[in-house]
């Protein structure tokens, strides 16, 4: 089965593109949502995190604000927490993909697909691109946050040039090109490989 990675910078529109693939009947695994589930439910992981970062759980749920304030301002802390979470997310993805026996191919949506080297386990990669200012505006509106916070998070992701260079396909989502024809084109190219 072909495994496709879908990534893009924060606010680029990955989730919207994922929804199009879902409407096309393609199963999508959302690595970021899965990571959140693991963070809140995996006892071994919770213990690892608390051993390094102290008590950052409230009523068995991770204090996302506290965790964000730590990892988005300290690259070593981010690297440490990713080293705890990513192997578990990778294992869940591969187990999930094996269960999709009726699918022509599967998609894994992940914000840091390239940064984590997860793309090396996939057959095809798709990058969703939008200009930085557009992405900042989208995230401010979506997350009810400020530009400073968004820019801080962006610094922990590859830049657009790096993602475009690594991706097999790039979907442009500045609002001046329709998404559906771009996704359909990629979808048909993937089906032709099967």
Instruction: Give the per-residue SS3 of 69-106.
Output: HHHCCCHHHHHHHHHHHHHHHHHHHHHHHHHCCCCCEE
* Residue 186: closest CA among 17, 15, 19, 11: 17
**Is the whole model's pTM more than 0.85, yes or no?**
yes
Distance in angstroms (rounded) separating the CA atoms of residues 71 and 48: 15
What pLDDT shows up at residue 59? 86
Helix (H), strand (E) at residue 39: helix 31-41
- Report the percent of the chain where pLDDT is more than 90: 74
- The token duo for 64 is 């996302």
Residue 148 has a pLDDT of 86
pLDDT value of position 22: 98
pLDDT given at position 194 = 85
Q: What is the CA radius of gyration of the chain?
A: 17
Question: What pLDDT is stored for residue 78 in this prediction?
Answer: 87
Cβ-proximal residues to 192 (8 Å cutoff; 6+ apart), any chain: none
Cα separation of 36 and 61, whole Å?
A: 10
Q: Which long-range contacts (CB under 8 A, 24 or more apart) does 77-86 make?
A: 77/53, 78/156, 80/52, 81/49, 81/52, 81/53, 82/112, 82/116, 84/45, 84/48, 84/49, 85/35, 85/38, 85/39, 85/45, 86/116, 86/118
- Mind listing the domains of the chain with CATH numbers? 2-193 (3.40.50.300)
| Predicted pLDDT at 157 | 84
Give dist(CA 12, CA 4) in Å, integer: 18
* Tens of pLDDT, residue by residue, the chain (194 residues): 999 999 999 999 999 999 999 999 999 999 999 999 999 999 999 999 999 988 889 888 899 888 888 887 788 998 899 999 999 999 999 999 999 999 999 999 999 999 999 999 999 999 999 999 999 899 899 988 888 888 888 887 888 999 999 999 999 999 889 999 999 999 999 999 98
SS3 call for 183: helix
Please give the Cα distance from 184 to 103 (Å, whole number). 16
Distance CA 125, CA 115 (A): 13
């Amino acid at each position: 089965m072909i495994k496709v990675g879908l990534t893009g910078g924060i606010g680029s529109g990955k989730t919207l593109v994922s929804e199009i693939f879902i409407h096309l009947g393609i199963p999508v695994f959302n690595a970021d949502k899965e990571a959140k589930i693991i963070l809140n439910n995996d006892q071994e992981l919770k213990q690892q995190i608390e051993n390094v970062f102290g008590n950052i759980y409230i009523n068995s749920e991770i204090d996302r604000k506290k965790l964000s304030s730590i990892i988005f301002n300290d690259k070593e802390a981010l690297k440490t927490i990713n080293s705890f979470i990513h192997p578990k997310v990778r294992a869940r993805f591969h187990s999930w993909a094996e269960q999709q026996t009726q699918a022509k191919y599967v998609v894994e949506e992940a914000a840091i697909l390239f940064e984590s080297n997860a793309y090396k386990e996939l057959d095809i990669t798709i990058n969703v691109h939008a200009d930085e200012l557009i992405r900042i505006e989208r995230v401010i509106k979506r997350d009810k946050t400020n530009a400073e916070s968004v820019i801080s998070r962006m610094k922990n992701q590859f830049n657009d040039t790096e993602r475009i260079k690594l991706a097999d396909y790039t979907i442009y989502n500045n609002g001046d090109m329709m998404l559906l024809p771009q996704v359909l084109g990629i979808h048909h190219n993937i089906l032709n490989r099967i």
